[in-house]
A = this chain, B = another copy of it.
Amino acid sequence: VEQEENEYIINEFDGMHSADISTVMEGLSAEDCKYILELLNPSVGADVISEIEDDTRNNFLTLFTPQELSKYMDNTDSDDAADILNDMPVKVREEVLASMNNNEKVQYIIDLLHYEEDCAGGLMAKELVKANINWNVSQCIEEVRRQGQNVDKIYTVYVVDDHDILLGRISMKKLLIANDLTKVADLYEPEIAKVYSYLDEEEVADIMQHYDLEVIPVINVQGRLLGRITIDDVVDVITEQAEKDQQAMSGLSEDVEETDSLIAMARARLPWLIVGMSGGLLGANFLGGFEEELSRIPAMAFFIPLITATGGNVGIQSSTIVVQSLASGGFQGSAMNRYLRVLVIAILNGLTLAALVYGFNMIFSDNHQLAIVVSFALFSVIMIASFMGTITPLVLSKFGINPALASGPFITTCNDLIGLGVYFMVAKALLH
């Protein structure tokens, strides 16, 4: 790029898929990105801009004037264009819209800018092919020809009445096979899945996954057809949600990536580390109350890591299972049944581990009293951590908080403290 060998670059990128060009550009500086984009034709450039990662895009798009940007936005699908413009200052956004030539697209984008990014309205594109219920097949094909110019992938033709109320759909296969004079009314499938524009994006993903759909129409409360959501956007929603859950489970507080700035990375990690550390300091304070016992039986300290680690592990396991059954549509059966099951599993595993530790201590140590204290405390910690791990994600999800947080550091810290408490209470009760 540095030697600006235009011919070479054009040849290299010619025939390359826009998704691959955008991957290459993610490794380059903002100036180089701009330089390359200007060598591509605007429609390929528009695809590259929609496919490139947000951070890289926001970096190099600031180098363009609004007039230059409008050229690309004319060629971008309305949903991607709205997302891109949403990341820009209001003034730039208005200038870009004012400079665009494709008036239909401008109207589409303005419609879409109303919606929150994480609802069905924020995911949908306005480009689709619709047919009136009173038409026949040849009118329908004429419309596909006309509207098809703007629509990359048609998937299906939506059937609406005179007031744009969504009635059903006709598959491309049926249109292709049907006689030209057949009425749309005789051909269309009236029962189709659809979503309201305000529906949460994760529920949209669930519905499309449940019914194996590659596209779903979006309607408003009156039933008017507003747009459609395609599966590629939903796949991104699913992937993002999985990443968010992983981050919640591992105590990262923002959406960070390894390539983010050092400060952003350090900041994303710090909050939960401080929570964990505060827990540790509370624990230290708590243990301070048992200084006398500890100096009399220093061996008690030996088993602190065992107790806290096991409590943490059991809690994370329990909550992850609940999180996954919340995500996949829920546990069948009563709440009572659920807690009973958790109880039985906790007893089974608690007894196994307590027995193992007791056996170990009987063999390698001669303090039988301590062996009993440790095993009893371990069993109690497993019971409590199972219960906490089960109930926390349920409570979080009831309050609309991501339940995956329940497998994260906050709960581990709580379990550490509870574990210490149980251990020393049991010790105090049994050793006095």
Q: Does A204 contact B (CB under 8 A)?
A: no
Stretch in contact with the other chain, from A2-10, A68-76, A316-324: A316-324
Among A171, A258, A317, max chain B CB count under 10 A is at A258
Instruction: Report yes or no: B280 in contact with A306, Cβ–Cβ below 8 A.
Output: yes
Residues of B near A274 (CB, < 8 A) are: 353, 356
Q: Does A12 contact B (CB under 8 A)?
A: no
Residues of B near A175 (CB, < 8 A) are: 176
Residues of B near A284 (CB, < 8 A) are: 302-303, 305-306
Interface residues of A in 161-192 (CB under 8 A from B): 171-173, 175-177, 191
Q: Identify A305's interface contact among B308, B317, B341, B404, CB under 8 A.
A: B308
Residues of B near A332 (CB, < 8 A) are: 26-27, 259
Could you give, for residues 246-262 of chain A, a 1 whenever the CB lies within 8 Å of some chain B CB and a 0 otherwise? 11011110001111001
Q: Does A98 contact B (CB under 8 A)?
A: no
Interface residues of A in 135-181 (CB under 8 A from B): 141, 144-145, 148, 153-155, 171-173, 175-177
Instruction: Report yes or no: B320 in contact with A265, Cβ–Cβ below 8 A.
Output: no
Tell me the bound Cα distance from A281 to B304 in angstroms: 10
Among A272, A273, A314, max chain B CB count under 10 A is at A273
Instruction: Report yes or no: B294 in contact with A298, Cβ–Cβ below 8 A.
Output: yes
Q: How far is the CB of A124 from chain B (nearest CB, A)?
A: 15
Stretch in contact with the other chain, from A38-46, A218-226, A236-244: A236-244
Instruction: Report yes or no: A145 in contact with B177, Cβ–Cβ below 8 A.
Output: yes
Q: Identify A317's interface contact among B23, B213, B250, B309, CB under 8 A.
A: B250
Q: Does A430 contact B (CB under 8 A)?
A: no
Interface residues of A in 355-403 (CB under 8 A from B): 356-357, 360, 364
> Which chain B residue has the least Cβ–Cβ distance from A420?
B305
Known A23-B329, A257-B328; judge A301-B301 contact (CB<8 A): yes
Q: Identify A258's interface contact among B208, B331, B412, CB under 8 A.
A: B331
Instruction: Report yes or no: A301 in contact with B305, Cβ–Cβ below 8 A.
Output: no
> 30 interchain pairs (CB within 8 A)?
A15-B191, A19-B210, A23-B210, A148-B177, A154-B171, A154-B173, A155-B214, A172-B176, A208-B235, A209-B232, A209-B236, A209-B239, A214-B231, A246-B404, A247-B324, A250-B319, A257-B321, A257-B328, A258-B324, A262-B345, A262-B348, A269-B349, A270-B352, A276-B309, A280-B306, A281-B360, A284-B303, A291-B299, A308-B309, A309-B416
Interface residues of A (CB under 8 A from B): 15, 17, 19, 23, 26-27, 51, 141, 144-145, 148, 153-155, 171-173, 175-177, 191, 193, 208-214, 230-232, 234-236, 238-239, 242-243, 245-247, 249-252, 256-259, 262, 265-266, 269-270, 272-274, 276-277, 279-281, 283-285, 287-288, 291, 294-295, 298-299, 301-310, 312-314, 316-317, 319-325, 328-329, 331-333, 338, 341, 344-345, 348-349, 352-353, 356-357, 360, 364, 404, 407, 409, 412-413, 416, 420
